[in-house]
Amino acid sequence: MLFIVRYTICSGNRNAAMERFLQTGGKAPAGVEMLGRWHAVAQRSGFAVIEANDAELIQQWAMEWNDLLSMEICPALTDDQMGPLMFATLAKKEHT
C-alpha cells in the first residue's frame, strides 16, 4: 500500500535532524520502500511517498524520528485505484 509522509522539523531541531539524516541517510526500515522524497529546505519540511504492507514498520520508522520532527502519514491511491472509486461514488449518487 502507498502512503504519503509529510514531515516538519520541530523548531530548534534543524541541526540535529540534519546530523541524523547525514548519519543514517533517513532510510526507512526493511519492509518499507522509499519511492521518493522531496525537501522544502526553507520551510524545514518535506514529503515522501513510501510503500509498505506493515503499519508497525511505518510506525517504527516514525518513532525513530519523532523526537526531532513531526510526521503525518496517510494512505494514498494511484489514479488506477481511485478511478473505479470515483465511478462508483458518482453512480451511487445518480441512483439516490
Global confidence as pTM: 0.85
Can you give the residue ranges of every domain in the chain? 2-94
Interval 3-58: pLDDT, tens: 999 999 998 999 999 999 999 999 999 999 999 999 998 999 999 999 999 999 99
Please give the Cα distance from 92 to 96 (Å, whole number): 7
Above pLDDT 90, what percent of the chain?
Answer: 84
- CATH code for residues 2-94: 3.30.70
Closest to 37 measured CA to CA, from 64, 67, 6, 65: 6
Rounded Cα gap, residues 29 and 40, in angstroms: 23
* Joined grid coordinates for residue 29: 526500515
Q: What span, in angstroms and rounded, lies between the C-alpha atoms of 18 and 31?
A: 24
Give CA–CA dist 17/14, Å, rounded. Answer: 5
Q: Give the per-residue pLDDT at 96.
A: 67
